[in-house]
A and B are shown apart, each in its own frame.
Chain A
Amino acid sequence: MRKQINQRQKAKILAAVVTVVLAAVTVCGILFTEAAMETDFLSRNQAPSAVHIFGTDWMGRDMLFRTLAGLSLSIRIGLLTAAISGAAALLIGIGAAVLGRKADASISWCIDLVMGIPHILLVMLISIACGRGFTGVVAGVALTHWPSLARVIRGEVLQLRQAPYILVAEKLGVSKMRISAVHMFPHLLPQFLTGTILLFPHAILHEASVTFLGFGLSSEQPAIGVILSESMQYLTTGKWWLALFPGLSLVLVVLLFAMLGERVRKLLDPASVHE
C-alpha cells in the first residue's frame, strides 16, 4: 500500500519539477532577449569557454542567451498552438460524435484530408497563406495538429453515448449541448489534458522545422530554427558549437514536455492510477 502512494507522489513531484524548469527557461528567455541581441565584435566566433559557455556567433552574440531566448519563444508558441489545437480537437471530436451521421462523415473526411498531406508540407502551405512570420507559424502549427486528438475524443464520445446515464439524461429531455458540457466533458478531461500536453512536443518541433526551412519566424527573431539555419553556413569551417548546443537544448525541452505528458497521463488514467 505504501509503495503505491509513493509512486503517485513521485510522479507528482517529477511533474512539478519539470513544470518549474520549463517555466524558468521561459522567464529567463524573456529576460535575456535584450542580451541575446547584444553584439560584441571583439569576441566573434569564439568556441565555448568559461565566459561564453555556448560560444559566440559571427556577430559576437552570446549563444547561451540566444538559445534561451529561442527556447522561450518556442515554448510560448508551443503553448499557444497546443491550446488552440487542443480546443479545436475537443470541439470537433465532440461535434463528430454528437451531431449525427452527416456531420461525422464530413469531419472524418476532413481529418483524412489533413492527415493525407505530409505535416510539414501543410504547415508550410498554411504559413504561406498567412504571409509567413509569427502569424504564419502559429496558424500553420495550430491548424494541423488537431486531427489525431480529435479522433481519440470522437471514439471516446461514441462509447460514452451508450452509457446508461447519458441515455437517461437524453430521455429526460436534457439538450445535446448540456449533455456534452455537463455530462460528457468531465469524462473526457483526462484524455483531453494529456492529449493536449503531448501536442506540445510536436508543435515545438514543427515550429522549429518550419522556421528552419524559412517559412516561419523572420531571421531577426531569436528562434531556434533561425539559429540552426544560420549555423548551416558555418558548419564546414568547423564551428560546431553553433549547431550543437541550441539543438541539444531544444531536444531537452521537448523531452521535458514529453515526460510531463507521460506523468500527467499516469496520474489521470484510471488504468494506471494504482500502479
Chain B
Amino acid sequence: MASTDTVDNGVQVSSDSGLDQTRRGFLGRLTAAVAAIGALVAGWPLLRSLVPNVLYEPPKRFRIGNPESFQEGVTFLEEHRIFLFRESSSFHAISGICTHLGCTVKFSPFTLPQEETVRQFSYRALGEFHCPCHGSKFRGEGTNFSGPAPRPLTCFHLELSPATGELVVDTATDVPRDFRLVV
C-alpha cells in the first residue's frame, strides 16, 4: 500500500530504492524473517486445533432391524436418510443424499413397476428419485439422468448381523449398484 500512497513528486523514499545493504538493513530483514516464521509456528496450533481428531457423530455402521420387518418394495429410513429396497428375499440400500449439494431426495413411485435397462443394467424399477433443491433426478437404481447432480446415488453395503440376524448397513462402504443381499 505504501507505494500506491506515494505521490509521484520526484522524492524517493530510501526503502524504495532496492535492498538496504547495511548491517542494520540485514538485521531488519532477519528480524522480519524470524517474526514471519514465528507467526507461522504460532498460527499452526491455532488452526490445527480446529480440525477435530475425535468425532462425536452417529456410527457409519448400524443395525436397522429384522429383514422380515421390512415391507416388499421400498422403505425410507428417515433418520439414516437411506432407501431400503426389498424384492422377496433380496435386499439392497441406496443413499438418500443427493450427490449435488446434499439435500435429501424423494422417491417418486411409478404406478406400476417397469423393467428398465440403465447403463447395461436391467432391473425392475419401482420409481425415480427427485431432489427438491435443484431438481436433480435419478433412475430407480440411482443413476443421475437430469439436473445438476454429478454422480449416481451411492449404494451401501448390507449384511446380516451374526449375533441378532438383523440387517446391518455400512455407509462407509460403497458397493456397485447390482449388489444384492439374499437372505
Chain A complexes with chain B: no
Which residues of B approach A to under 8 Å, CB–CB? Answer: none
